[in-house]
Structure 1
Amino acid sequence: MKPLCEKVLPDENSSWRFCRYDWQEMEFNWHYHPEYEICLTLGGQGLRYMGDHIGQYHEWDLVLIGPDMPHAWQSKLSDTPQTVYVAQIPAAWLHQQLTEQPELAVLGSLLERAGRGLLFSDASARAALPLFQSMEQASPYRRLLLLLQLLELMLADSEACALSSTLYANSGKQEYAVKKLDRVIEYIYDNYTNDLNAQELARLAHMSTNHFHRFFKKRTEKTLTEFINQLRIAKACKLLITQQSPISAISDQCGFNNLSNFNRRFLQLKGIQPSQFRQRFRGKPAAI
């Protein structure tokens, strides 16, 4: 499924957006936006999707999502509402602050790592809650100070870990080379379950095949084969969770040419066999 672009509008008299939601269930909404997003999800459990990551979230879930990173959460209907706090910060504005305010330059490493999505420790999630709660009734000035405290908290978390194995964020959207990569990646997203070859994609980028391989690896930190396999395995995970189809059928649906290749790639990327993955998630909150 191709993610939808979400339009984010800053709060009145603010450069960024803060909001709180209370949901009985969280429906799958695969989307992205050019803003950084800090999301604290409380009091529930379900599945978290970020780039090519699919994993469970539990009662305390604090993440930082980089610009243009596709993401979604999903949970089943519950009698107890889940509370979700969200801060969405325009990337251009935040980058400008780091450039113009030398005191903020220390945040650069955190924002760079956010390109793969960052999950923070339970301790950080618990410490973030009073900051978010204070934002609810705060003035725009006070809310900005609280946002800086929140970023400082996340920067200090040595247990923060990347979720997606692929860097999805693209800085400098007007750069010509980035536009080429966007065009190629969009084509891959639309066709990754079909046969794809480097020659075809190189023509799309107006490059020689050898140049394209080097360009793609430099820009995504993955070879073309690795990138496509990660998308296929992410789709397989979703189908294993939501369908009862035989694993061989799911292998075909995801574009693998034979079952043994599928099993080998799945084990390589997820660390377990497809059958074990399905068993682990059986009876858990379902995806789409």
Structure 2
Amino acid sequence: MTAASKPFREKVLPSTNSSWRFWRYEGTSIPFNWHYHPEYEITLTLNSHGHRYVGDCIEQYEELDLVFVGPNLPHTWCSHHSLDGQTQPVYVAQIPASWLESMTDTMPEFEGVRHLLALSKRGVKFSYGKAKEVLNIFDSMHTADPMKRFIGLMEVLKCMLEEENPVTLSSSSFSFTLKNDIANDKIEKVIQYIHDHYTENLTADQLADVAHMSTNHFHRFIKQRTEQTFTELVNQLRVGKACSLLINSDLPISTISDLSGFNNTSNFNRRFLQFKKCTPSQFRKAFSGKMSRKAAYAV
């Protein structure tokens, strides 16, 4: 990182049926991706080592690096390539600031979290022991439904609160001034276009025209700004629409596939499994079962 390096604003899209984002990234390295966003972020790296950049703090990190980053604090990890080809997983939880801060303001149970949020504005590193505890929670959250993931997030916050000696990273004198980001307007326009036209056969060329850039530049832009490929971004939004239809209608799955913008049911099933870790029919059955139990309790 040089003095001329300018962080870019990342667009965070919540996970399906969630008000926050939880995901697991896997690759043979973690690329330098100097960025910021208005959400709080909990990051846990596995099976990698390299350099961690948070504000004006640059440090080497090793296996199981657990860090809590506050809103609009520039950060990135940059790892060495795996010589043996093994993946380097990263768990990331990104929570809207207004949502998390409102709980500290209105719920006495969250009083202790207030201090943790204040520390996160400089970035907080936790011990190896706490990182192992959080790894177990994140592993269970990876295939969990939204409610269980929310409970897991509360467990992670509690775990971090119990850290005896949290280490702040960026100096107290570091400041980052938010500036108007023209590129942020472009990503907003692209996502809105996908929401408005998700049933159509969307192409990168088409969206590149919307963003007024070349197709090659558009692919790099989307990957950098959302940490997803263009195809993954479109499919995530389509799967979200499908979840709503599966929950709120009795339509056949083949019909829901068409209404969600997928070209065939087989492709729909593959993409749904990719994002939800279950098939559309399993998702509908599981949700129907929960609703039946709630009705029974209400009687």
TM-score bracket for this pair, using the shorter chain length? 0.5 to 0.7
The alpha carbon displacement at 1:168 in A equals 5.8
> 2: CA distance between counterparts of 1:143 and 1:169?
33
Q: Secondary structure at the match of 1:7?
A: coil
- Per the alignment, residue 153 of structure 1 pairs with 159
Gaps of 5+ in 2: 182-299
Moved more, 52-61 or 8-17: 8-17
- Per the alignment, residue 50 of structure 1 pairs with 54
The alpha carbon displacement at 1:76 in A equals 2.1
The alpha carbon displacement at 1:100 in A equals 2.1
Q: Secondary structure at the match of 2:154?
A: helix
Correspondence for 1:23 among 4, 20, 27: 27
- Per the alignment, residue 241 of structure 2 pairs with none
The alpha carbon displacement at 1:15 in A equals 1.2
Q: Is 2:66 aligned against 1:62?
A: yes
> 2: CA distance between counterparts of 1:169 and 1:16?
26
Instruction: Please list the CA deviations of residues 135-193 of structure 1 after superposition, one character each: whole Å capped at 9, or x if unmatched.
Output: 111111111111001001001101210011136688xxxxxxxxxx656xx9xxxxxxx
Q: Is 2:96 aligned against 1:128?
A: no
Q: Secondary structure at the match of 1:132?
A: helix
Give TM-score scaled by structure 2 length.
Answer: 0.56
Give TM-score scaled by structure 1 length.
Answer: 0.58
Q: Is 2:100 aligned against 1:94?
A: yes
Determine if contact 1:66/1:169 at 8 Å carries over to the other structure: no
Distance 1:149 1:169, change over 3 A: farther
Gaps of 5+ in 1: 171-180, 187-288
Instruction: Please list the CA deviations of residues 216-266 of structure 1 after superposition, one character each: whole Å capped at 9, or x if unmatched.
Output: xxxxxxxxxxxxxxxxxxxxxxxxxxxxxxxxxxxxxxxxxxxxxxxxxxx
- Per the alignment, residue 258 of structure 1 pairs with none
Determine if contact 2:130/2:160 at 8 Å carries over to the other structure: yes
Q: Secondary structure at the match of 1:15?
A: coil
Determine if contact 1:68/1:169 at 8 Å carries over to the other structure: no
- Per the alignment, residue 263 of structure 1 pairs with none
Alignment of 1:206-285 (within 5 A): none
Q: Secondary structure at the match of 2:81?
A: coil
Distance 1:34 1:168, change over 3 A: farther
